[in-house]
Structure 1
Amino acid sequence: MFSKIATRFACASVLFVSSSLTGEAHSQTLTMGAALQRALAASPRLTAAERDVGIARGQRIQSGALINPEISYEQDNSFGSGAYRGTRSAETTLQVSQMFELWGKRDARIAAGQAGFDAAGIGRQAVRLEVLSETAIAFVSVLGLQRRIQILDEQIEAIDKISPLLQRRVEAGASSIAETGRAEVASALVKADRERTRSSLASARRELAILMGDGAPKFAAVSGRLEVTGKPPTFQSVVAAIDANPQLVRWKAIYAQRNAELLLARLKPYPDVTVSAGWRRFNETGDNAVRLSLSVPIPVFDQNQGNILSAQESLAKTAAERQGNRNTLIVVAGRAYDSLQGSLRELTILRETAIPKSRDAADAISEGYGQGRYSLLEVLDAQASVAQARLREQEAQQNFHVAVATIEGLVGNPFALARGSAR
């Protein structure tokens, strides 16, 4: 399932039209799909998660290792005095000892190692989703700021188009020279907004480049469409889907791991058996004999009560940790969902009323200005209203797609939107 997330995000995080370019590192236009693939390939967090899986794999292998046997050599009755001078009366023993774990301790240890490995694998999936979501959001930010600069450029162009007509009116005595300065100020203020936006765009481009593993942007622009939206499913369905998020799924593996650790703590006081077999040589008589021994520790003083209590509390803590994690995800999803719904309502108002009405008014006032029926201030105000409505639309579109990418990162699947075209 999660091996296909990158492809799904390319199709689902934002509605973007695929570019004919390939999206290579030095291509002119970067597509969402290329950005996601490169982010997955370059993410140090994902690499670290891969190493966590390797660490857990090693621990799982080690958990099944058998206890090594011991070999010992003993020499008695030597280097003393009298009959025990030197080694003539020495007794030497060569012995091999092996401890045997009983009561299912090894099985419990293996279960704990396997659960740790499972948790690491699921954790890697969670990191993968986070990288995809963050990259999609960064891509949307760049695309939105590109669009914002385009709108500001068009506003500047509209103001500058008035200048020839304004100059003629000044020369004819129909307008004062002060109006020329007013137009220049209006144009300069929009240009200042554009420079601020360019600064934000530079930061957003750098952030996207770093997510893709580059120190600086190696793309000229990003390609996509922000204007296409749709109706989302209910918030209840989003909450239900969150339970499939790897951040929550991994708690099952963590619970199994801690349960196995509790079992190990409870089994530790139960004694294991050490069996020894050796060969004894009696130098004085030249005789040989077999030596057998069996040892079992007596759990009188240490019954591992402290570790058992600690393991019990750790196991009981798991449910609270999972619920806290789930609550956090629901809060994040709720904020994103509210932002999504608010953006849709805002877009409806802007598209049905604000933008068309402001454009009609601006066209009428601009035409009337040429006929002397409106002042320059009214023209500039009408143009500013159009630009403001379009900038609000761009902001709402960007917020909508950021919210979609955020929710998709939480549910782990494309966020299906009801609309005519496929997403």
Structure 2
Amino acid sequence: MTLKILALLLGSCTPLCAQKSMSLKECEQVFRSNNLQLLAEQYNISQADADIIQAKIWDLPEISFTGNAYNPDDKKTFDVLHSKDVEIQQLFVLGGKRKKEVDFAKTNKELAKLQYNQLAVDLLSQLKETYYSLYYDGRKLLRIDNQLSFLNDLLQAYKIQTSKGNISLKDEVRLQTLILSLNKDRIEITNSILASQNSLKILTGINEEIIPEWSVSEAKEVLENAPLISLEDLQKKAEENNADYQFALKTIESNKAYHTWQKSFNTPDLTAGLQYSQSGGAFKNELNFTLGIPIPLWKQNKGNVQKAQYITEQSQKNAEFKKNELYNQVNLAYQTWENQYTQFRNINQTDLDNLESVYKGMQDNFRKGNVSLIEFTDFSDSYNESVLQMNEMKKQIMISAEEINRLTQTQIFKS
């Protein structure tokens, strides 16, 4: 049966608060189309495309016109009919500068793609972890509300009997203490649910309260999924697929391209053109060609080349750090998941079923007077703690498994 926490959230939601039941797959689909942060990140790729286009554009040719301002022989001003020069020049970039700039721009586009991929993975992982938290917190709330419903009715009956002198006040106080403890747990869980709801709204762009549509059998199947893969294999997959680490490697490549581009600036560029002179040259209507090139007496871009080299070396060290950090993050995530999963698997399902049966039996026997109030409240307190811990354990297993998926960027664990 699908878990419904609609009624559980009514106490923390205004009457006008809209709610919507959604599966995890539906949340993922809405996330990909609605998440504003992800949509905004796509523009960085488009900007990188524009940089590539710009790098390919040639410098514009330059045309200049010289006309007579004052003719001292004929005493005329602006005598352009008898004396004018026209010159057109084009800068020819040498040393492969343009190609190297394009290559550098292309590496920046690859970096923008990797940044987008990493953001998509991080946000999607956050979505899944929030969904799992909402589901298991809802189950906690369901159990607490079931207990509170019974205990609040019992407290009202005790108050009546206390007022009549049939029951000691200390019994009523003991019952109130148990209810206060449960209400404290309920407030904490409700606040966690509200935070999860707020996070899902931001991630999906949906303003309604999202109710997890996840059956108990589906949750159990995913929870018990334990793929046979070693820590070393997980670390290798992370090294191959993690976009954050790939970004560090691509940064080295980008910085090398930038270094090569900067070195090309030490090759001087050529300026060539044509010049027409009506009467200012050795001949009438003279047509000349022009060539100009800086004299490479020293390497004018030496400082930028050195800087680019240092940046490249720095990025290599950063990549080494990123690899070491990634391996340790995978190790921590794996150990965390393994510890929690081992603890969970050591719990016998029969023991959990017995716990539920005993609790129901305690309620029935308490109604019949076969169990004292002290015994009942003590057991109820232990039962509540066990239920909360069990659901928290399941939630943390799912979250740590998703963290492994995020780091390796491989669907190691089913979701």
TM-score range, shorter chain: 0.7 to 0.9
Tell me how far 1:142 sits from its aligned partner.
1.2
- TM-score scaled to structure 1, two decimals? 0.81
1:158–1:383 Cα contact (<8 Å) kept: no
Name the counterpart of 1:409: 406
Matched letter for residue 231 of structure 2: F
Deviation at 1:66, TM superposition (A): 1.2
Within 5 A, what are the aligned runs for 1:115-154?
Answer: 115-154=107-146
With over 3 angstroms needed to count, the CA separation of the structure-2 counterparts of 1:28 and 1:103, relative to structure 1, is closer
2:195 & 2:337 partners in 1: Cα distance?
24
1:223 aligns with 2:219: no
| C-alpha distance in structure 1 between counterparts of 2:283 and 2:261, whole Å | 48
Instruction: Name the aligned partner's letter for residue 108 of structure 1.
Output: K
Q: Distance in 1 between matches of 2:307 and 2:146?
A: 66
For 2:3 and 2:128, how far apart are their aligned partners in 1? Answer: 15
1:95 and 2:87 correspond? yes
Unaligned 5+ residue runs, structure 1? 1-15, 20-24, 418-422
CA distance in 2, matches of 1:89, 1:345: 97
Is contact 1:241–1:411 with CA below 8 Å preserved after alignment? Answer: yes
Within a 5 Å distance, the mapping from 1:224-243 to structure 2 comes to 224=214, 225=216, 226-227=219-220, 228-232=223-227, 233-243=229-239
Equivalent-residue separation in structure 2 for 1:390 and 1:284 (angstroms) = 101
Deviations for 1:93-147, whole angstroms, at most 9, x for unmatched residues? 2111111122211111111111111221222111111121111111112112111
In 1, Cα distance between equivalents of 2:282 and 2:355: 118
Counterparts of 2:92 and 2:52, CA distance in 1? 20
Structure 2 contact 67–80 (Cα < 8 Å) conserved: no
Partner in structure 1 of residue 197 of structure 2: 205
Displacement of 1:335 = 3.4
SS in 2 for 1:249: helix
CA deviation after TM superposition for structure 1 residue 158, in Å: 5.0
Contact 2:107-2:253 within 8 A present in 1 as well: yes
Q: 2:314 aligns with which of 313, 317, 320?
A: 317
Following the alignment from structure 1 to structure 2, what is the Cα–Cα distance between the partners of residues 354 and 174? 38
What does residue 380 of structure 2 align with?
Answer: 383
User: Which runs of 5 or more structure 2 residues have no equivalent in the other structure?
Assistant: 5-16
Give the alignment's TM-score, normalised by structure 2: 0.82
The code of the aligned residue for 2:295 comes to I
For residues 244-298 of structure 1, the C-alpha deviation after alignment (integer angstroms, 9 at most, x for no partner) is 1222223343333222211111111111111111211018999211111111101
Say if 2:294 is the partner of 1:297: yes
Is 1:272 paired with 2:272?
A: no
For the Cα contact (< 8 Å) 1:361–1:382, is it kept in 2? no
CA 1:163–1:326 in 2, change beyond 3 Å: closer, same or farther? same
User: What is the alpha-carbon root mean square deviation over aligned residues?
Assistant: 3.6
Q: Hey, what's the Cα distance between the residues in 1 that align with 2:191 and 2:200?
A: 14
Task: Give aligned-pair identity as a percent.
Answer: 16
AA in 2 matched with 1:200: S
Moved more, 197-206 or 125-134: 197-206
Give the deviation of 1:338 after TM superposition. Answer: 2.7
Question: Match of 2:275, SS?
Answer: strand
CA pair 369-139 structure 1, distance change in 2 beyond 3 A: closer
Q: Deviations over 1:59-109 (max 9, x none)?
A: 011111112111112347x63756897659965321111111222111111
**Where does residue 63 of structure 1 map in the other structure?**
55
**AA matched with 1:104:** G
Question: How many corresponding residue pairs?
Answer: 395
